[in-house]
Structure 1
Amino acid sequence: MPGTPHPSTAATIIVIGIGADGWSGLSDESRHHVSRASVVLGGPRHLALLPEVAGQRRLPWPRPLRAGLRELLAGLEGAVVALASGDPMVSGIGSTLVDALGPDRVVVVPAVSSVALARAEMRWPAESHATVSVVGRDVSLVRRQLAPGRRILVLSADEHTPFQVARLLVDAGYARSLVTVLGDLGSERSTVVGPRAAAGLVDDHGDLPRLNVVAVDCVGPHLGGWVAGLPDDAFEHDGQLTKRDLRASALARIAPAPGEHLWDVGAGAGSVAIEWMRADPTCTATAVEADAERVARITRNASRLGVPGLQVVHGTAPEALAGLPAPDAVFVGGGATRAGVVDSAMAALRPGGRLVVHGVTLETERLLAVLYAEHGGELTRLGVESVAPIGSFTGWAPARTVTQWALMR
């Protein structure tokens, strides 16, 4: 039977999906696992849904979860069951336990997920919407999904999340978006609030169920897609910004792919790292910047553009690069002539990694010519001209020419 442990996995933790309907909604298989368990782990709400079992220990998850999880699990003996909401592998504890223990130590018995229940309530086909979890995460993640006509299911952290989502929509120019709050799905207490315009929900502090999913029908302006080249004015900056056309060229060469990590060295406004992370939700990045004001600005830009998970390091390369997660790609937008910066980036790259370095000074250009001669790759000069007034006429205004060196390991 799928989900049933076999003899070679005797030390497994069995993760049981449980819905808002509690014990009555569990399958016979799930009830059997819970009833025979020596220890049951779960949130207080989940544990309260179970009937008493003589001699059984019931332990809540530690807080913070990941920091205390290994210690908690190390002290457990006998049959262990962990409870999770719905499908444990949909932004749930099942994924966390697999990461902590490995797939051979975890067996998953899912229930119907809150995503499936919400989709059924809204009559939204699976392929017609995005799903964003803000459980233990920044609600700004929703911003990446905003587009005219887009549908989004937001997995809420608590009863405050719908109001936070509404405020985010209003701030992003999506005040007319329709918001529906689906509470306690799958139980006799299930509720549906809405649809209501986001603007009307912001100041409504009425009671909502703690367990809820927020459905959003987006109505608003085009804010920029996931293909590289957001407008320069999408970023707060002090002039230290990799401009749109140059940024698009650099990103085409560092080529973000799902699950990969980027170093953005001399990040300025963080535009390259931010667009890298916008390319796919599993892309991660570290922005390294020496100026404290720019560090704060990068953080604000990341949140406003829907990638609040961007790691920002305040420091100077190459020293600040020590100990960072190994990169699949590196972009050096400033400071390439500083001793050790390019060498450290090249040494850190994973096999198949990509490196792009930009320079506007003669000193950097000479360095890039040497690197090209030694290592090959691609050396390009990029000149961009934009229309601007010349008195009462109009003409082309050239920006500084940028030398770009790109290399694949």
Structure 2
Amino acid sequence: LHLFHTKTSFIIMYIDSASTKLVCYFTNWSQYRPSSGKFTSGNVDPFLCTHVIYTMATVGPDHQIATVEWNDEIMYKNLNNLKNVNPVMKTLLSVGGVDSFRFIDMVANAANRATFIHSALLFVRTHNFDGLDLAWDYPGHNGSNAEDKQRFTALIQELRAAIEQEALDTKKTPLLLSAKVAALRSVIDIAYEVREISRYLDFISIMTYDYHGSWEKVTGHNSPLFKSYLDKGSHMYHNIDASVSYWISNGAPAEKLLLGFPLYGRTFLLSSTETALGAPANGPAAAGPYTREAGYWSYYEICSFVSMAKVGWIDEQSVPYATQGNVWLGYDNKESYSAKVHWLNSMNLGGASVWTLDLDDFQGQFCSDGAYPLVNHLRNSLGKQAVLI
């Protein structure tokens, strides 16, 4: 039970599962979406998530952490000022993403890593973050060599040591250290020393989405809970159950793992009259008017489509899909979120991570279901509710 006071009222926050995290990412590029799709740190609800992760910072050519957008520091301040409203909320700064190639030179030797670590700890303290999130997509991939698997472990180990020393020196609470990691075992094997990095990280957000998309020739769901009867070969592992189980079998403690919940769906253009899972497809549907990326629709864009589409349910994967004309959409809704929460509880996972807040109906303008309908449902399903008195 947490009781704290704002200027106008008291808020009582009940947390039924104290160990359960709800970690919510949001992106600094969502500020460029048009009209009602525009999202800034001012749109964050400070009572919605246990942890909010600002995405993204990058690694500069001098191996130091660096901003990306012109107004990042303004948005840092606006986000972290929300802790004056809810002191329980934690914030982290994520580094990596599309600029992940910059990790390659930074991790190459101990001196470069030390430069980054010193700059990163100073940076997150200066801007009042509670921790750092590593989002390298991925060690051993995209120009990264095989040795970077071990160098990533070294970076994490050295970060942990520096964090503990900094806390001793400053007498402050130690900074949090997390990572956003791959879900496919073919990537995991090349990228991570799972047992070693898990030892030094506070929590690990598995990207349990993007299992299927318009790059494939048949329809498949973005984030299925289990495999389908159609899955053969390596596709047998393109599901949440397989991914999380693989992380655990390789030595990751279940309580440090967070299940990734996407707030978007992926589309296909059907190339025949078939509409079921595994139907022939050829490319993506048109981009949504706000996210403006072919094959990728935010939940608030999905609401408009689903209201006019034929909605189905994939029983063996516990996820919905929708079709209209030649468009096939695999997405998540409250029912699939509930199924995934039930499963993550059965696995004793540490909680959930959300990609991303700016893709939910954050202002309640599209889905006629209030602000943040999916994340609020996820929060309540995890056993967390805030009560205003």
Q: Structure 2 length normalisation: TM-score?
A: 0.24
Higher RCO (CA < 8 A, seq sep 6+) = 2
Q: Which has the larger radius of gyration?
A: 1
